Amino acid sequence: MFRNIPTLPELSAAVVTGGSSGLGEAFIGLLGRVAPRVAVCNLSRRPIAEKARAAFHAAPHHVPCDLADPDSLARGAEAVAGWLAASAPTGPILLVNNAGLGAFGRFPGEDPARQLAIIDVNVRAVVDLTGRLLPVLRARGGGILNVASVVAYQPTPYAAVYGASKAFLLSWSLALREELRGSGLRVVACCPGTTATGFFDAAGLGRLPGAAMGAEAVARFALRAWARDQPHAVPGLHNRLLTWAGSCLPRAASAWVAGLVLRRRAGPSLP
């Protein structure tokens, strides 16, 4: 029924940020099918949907957390560490830094605070949470899967802060992977393109026209990339061609092309 399901290394637990909807929900649902005995924790503001919970032998655990709030994240990380110690079986752990926030339009837009929230969720929260959980990951094994984006490969006018946050995440993931070489921990960055979730509506852009990969297809690709220990991976031939082309151009030219494409695709929705 499910084609190309990844074969994951033996895991005891997985922690997914932003697992209540979209790509995070797809990660949790897929884990429930390919590894139903793995203990799963969702770190997000809302609990996991019932359809994702049904796939597991034991219902996924929910730790309420606002990733944009440093105090809430600190409490959430402490709760996750306590849950891993008390409830998750001994063995490797996968941390999926999936939660993301975006905004579309001319900087700084009508809500400058959202630009800072993008940095809080996409950058600070990922670095903070990973640092807090790294000791238990080192002790038990496993690794980290960071969800970046195709926009990590070139500057993105009209999504300037979002694109820069994903570029940071890709660069940081590769650097952390090198630091952890020989530790047994895998660090992989997945860089999806347009995905059929509510992300674009939340970013104020509406659904982008053109082809979009399904959330489950992206989650399947990302888990397979982590299982194969690929440093960074882009799902979809079209997305791979775009990132290759963007990487070949001088960065100023790449920014001009990206701005042109986003203006044309957004049409009248561009503020």
Domains and CATH numbers, the chain: 13-269 (3.40.50.720)
pLDDT score for 236: 85
pTM for the predicted model, two decimal places: 0.88
- A 10 A CB-CB count for 100 gives 27
pLDDT score for 211: 59
Least confident of 113-122, 136-145, 211-220, 253-262: 253-262
> How many Å from the N-terminal Cα to the C-terminal Cα in the chain?
43
Token pair for 57:
């032998």
* Residue 161 burial by Cβ neighbours in a 10 Å radius (0-12, 13-18, 19+): buried
Supply the DSSP symbol for 124.
Answer: I
Alpha-carbon distance of 123 to 149, in angstroms, equals 13
- Asked, as a colleague might, if the bond just before 112 is cis with ω within 30 of 0, I would say no
**Who's near 258: CB < 8 A, 6+ residues apart?**
151, 154, 155, 156, 157, 163, 246
pLDDT score for 137: 97
Residue type, 194: T
Alpha-carbon distance of 62 to 44, in angstroms, equals 8
Alpha-carbon distance of 76 to 70, in angstroms, equals 10
Question: Mean pLDDT over all residues of the chain?
Answer: 86
Q: Nearest CA to 207 among 196, 217, 216?
A: 196
The stretch 9-28 carries a mean pLDDT of 91
Segments in the chain forming alpha helices (H): 22-34, 50-53, 70-86, 112-119, 125-140, 160-179, 199-202, 215-227, 237-248, 251-266
Residue 208 pLDDT grade (very low, low, confident, very high; cuts 50, 70, 90): very low
pLDDT exceeds 70 at position 187? yes
